Amino acid sequence: MPRSVLTFSDLEKIPTGGEVSVSPSTLITALAADEAARRSITIKFIEPPAGGSADSGTANAQGRAVAIGADHGGYELKEQLKRYLSDWAYTVIDLGTSGTDPVDYPDFAEAVADAVASHQAWRGVVIDSAGIGSAIAANKVPGARAALCYDRATARNSREHNDANIITFGARLIPAEVAREILALWLETPFAGGRHQRRVDKITAIEDRNRTP
């Protein structure tokens, strides 16, 4: 049965070399992760039951394209998140970089933002060392709403309140496992609409007023 949190005590009844299934957004505590590694317990991520809203949940991931890009500081985390996205049935559009040689984060932030703004991708992910510069660069592209997220609360808020279509990560600031949890929750969370739609519309109006002729 999928859990929202997997703890050390949850693994006590799992035999060494066994397997436990959790949903993609499950929070795995540090003690649980260490115990799973120590006893060779496989943590298997499973999709939630189908039937969620059209804009939420990995149950509706099939066919949705997610553009992802990173500079050299975010390359390793990009490669890990790509695997998770594929496991969750998203179509992954990798826009680079392809290694750890030094490159400039604005180039990749712009590429991801362009893919999202032009509807080539449903959502976007950009990673650099801190995540701040990529968010700034991506938000220069009209139609992009990039949010730097560092925990579950910021991920949920960015989707529910701001309808963020791009998430940025600081690879040197959060562990890969935390980034996985944040990304899964962010992808699953729908925009709340209502009073928040009026505010997002005002963001779009600011873009429109400042477009280059």
Active-site amino acid positions: 161
What does the block give as tokens for 118?
A: 């032009």
Q: How far apart are CA 83 and CA 90, in angstroms?
A: 10
Q: Give the DSSP per-residue string, 114-180.
A: HHHHTTS-SEEEEEESSSHHHHHHHTTSTT--EEE--SHHHHHHHHHTT---EEEEETTTS-HHHHH
**To which H or E segment does residue 38 belong?**
helix 30-38
What does the block give as tokens for 37?
A: 């590694």
Q: Is 12 exposed, middle or buried (0-12, 13-18, 19+ CB in 10 A)?
A: exposed
Q: How far apart are CA 193 and CA 198, in angstroms?
A: 8
Q: How far apart are CA 168 and CA 146, in angstroms?
A: 7
